[in-house]
Structure 1
Amino acid sequence: MTDLLIPFQFPFMQNGFLIVTLIAPAAALLSCFLVLKGWALLGDATSHAVLPGVVLAYMAGIPLLIGAFLAGLVCALATGVIGDNSRVKRDTVMGVVFSGMFGVGIVLYTQIDSALHLDHILFGDMLGVQSADLWTAGAISGAVTLGLMAFWRDILAHAFDPVQARMIGLRVGLIHYGLLVALSATVVAMLSSVGIILAVAYLIAPGAIAFLLVRSFGAMLVASVVVALLAGLTGTYAAFWLDAAPAPTIVLVLTGMFLLALAGRRIRQPG
């Protein structure tokens, strides 16, 4: 029994458990709205698009999180503007914008000589997070969580029917772009832990799993947070014994949970 508690005795593991606990609520709540609105690809696009912002921030000598946030916001806004003013479907625009920005980031990275580790940016470094990373992730995640919980009914109305939401007096534009800002901020909060590439799993899987498990949106919000916390803590714990990177292990746990939820849904509703 004592051996099972060994991972909790190491400070780097304690930080790993803490960082996933901090980022899980915001990512999980946001994933519900992304799944509901069909914005799953936008989460993927935004997480990839922060790379050029990180590199440019490093070159300019400013905090990397500022560059990441601005780049993610530019990607989200550009996708919306192009999608609203062209005949090209929004998912196609997302693919073009995020792949273009990701390519720019890779090219910029190869042109500089730095101590910036690309692996840590892409895949995260959960076991190497410092106190500053924990404070930053906690502050951003807390702000996003409070914002989503305070306005979830308005966001839900906008997600189901923007036209009806406008008719009842909701500020649809503010809700739309506020959600994009929350998305970019959440990606930034996850930058030091799960990294750019794997952040998309946290932005989609908890909401998708909760959607399969419950029937009401309120319950979906609660279930998604439970799923994200359970997957994060379980994946981090398992990674210690498997001698594997925590972030990919968490993604595998989320994938397994999704498959189990899908199988359970098919058993309950075989037709």
Structure 2
Amino acid sequence: MIQNFINGLYEFHFLQNALVTAVVIGIVSGAVGCFIILRGMSLMGDAISHAVLPGVAISYILGINFFVGAIIFGLLSSVIITFIKNNSIIKGDTAIGITFSSFLALGVILIGIANSSTDLFHILFGNILAVQDIDKWLTIGVSVAVLLAIVLFFKELLITSFDPLMAKAIGMSVNFYHYLLMVLLTLVSVTAMQSVGTILIVAMLITPAATAYLYTNSLKKMIILSSSIGASSSVLGLFIGYSFNIAVGSSIVITSAVIFAISFLVSPKQNFIKKKVKIDDQKT
């Protein structure tokens, strides 16, 4: 089975594109996901990943690259959510729920107008085996830009994530770095759409980062570990999906979830098994 997969990588260009794209998306999703969970913004990741759907539909209707529309609507959703949260008594999670469900419904309607049910399925659940050369290179370019931004603004993102009040006190523009992270999140959501679809993007953002958080308290180590887990999950998920002829995007997400489940039981920070054994010993 492994040999067949390796032979397929040598023989089929589409599988080579899928592997490269999956690894790149796994790396960049893992990196951005660390900041998302540290800021308690997992729901925001879910919202933006769904909110890009109308942009994809409009891009399809107009015949332009879906990156353009998706990025515009992703950023628009983050602006609307932040505006509602900051200018009303409505809490953030409520603003997120209203916005992402509305954008998702709008996207489904627009896809219906475009008469493209097949593309809707691929958008919702991904189709990484159909990635073309131009999509692969676009994904690599966007991912490099996102990782470069993280490197350049690492200290600022670190401080504003852990202590926004102190960041504001020392003169940092907390809102600027919030929207910068929203831009990065939107870019990652659009790129990950090809592999796992809008439904499962949040899993690629959150699960590897949550797994890495179980092992370390250092943000740098957490980003490296999260990106490694994301890349590994992508490769294993692609292998399973290709070998057993099942949905690759779902396979990637399930693989990532299994790694998290194992880590939850054995990681030093969680120490779940030892705690369970200790409790049982005390009872006896």
> TM-score of the superposition, structure 1-length normalised?
0.95
Q: Deviations over 1:204-249 (max 9, x none)?
A: 1111010012222221111101100110011101112211111100
Provide the C-alpha distance between the structure 2 equivalents of 1:33 and 1:109, rounded to a whole number of angstroms.
32
**Aligned residues: percent identity?**
34
Q: What amino acid is the match of 1:209?
A: T
Provide the C-alpha distance between the structure 1 equivalents of 2:117 and 2:99, rounded to a whole number of angstroms.
28
Question: Are 2:71 and 1:65 aligned?
Answer: no
Match of 1:139 among 135, 138, 141: 141
What secondary structure, in the 3-state scheme, does the structure 1 residue paired with 2:97 have? helix
Match of 1:24 in 2: 26
Structure 1 spans left out of the alignment, 5+ residues: none
Matches within 5 A, 1:139-178: 139-178=141-180
Match of 2:282 in 1: none
The answer on whether the counterparts of 2:5 and 2:239 sit within 8 Å (CA) in structure 1 is: no
Matches within 5 A, 1:56-205: 56-114=58-116, 117-205=119-207
Match of 2:45 in 1: 43
Match of 1:267 in 2: 273
> TM-score of the superposition, structure 2-length normalised?
0.90
Task: Indicate the RMSD between aligned Cα atoms, in angstroms.
Answer: 1.7
The answer on whether the counterparts of 1:7 and 1:240 sit within 8 Å (CA) in structure 2 is: no
Matches within 5 A, 1:238-249: 238-249=240-251
The answer on whether the counterparts of 2:25 and 2:192 sit within 8 Å (CA) in structure 1 is: yes
Match of 2:228 in 1: 226
Q: Give how far 1:268 is off.
A: 5.2
Q: What amino acid is the match of 2:7?
A: I
Q: Give how far 1:256 is off.
A: 0.4
Match of 2:254 in 1: 252
Provide the C-alpha distance between the structure 1 equivalents of 2:218 and 2:61, rounded to a whole number of angstroms.
47
Q: Give how far 1:2 is off.
A: 4.2
Match of 1:215 in 2: 217
How many matched pairs? Answer: 271
Larger Rg computed on CA atoms:
2
Q: Give how far 1:77 is off.
A: 1.1
Q: What amino acid is the match of 1:267?
A: I
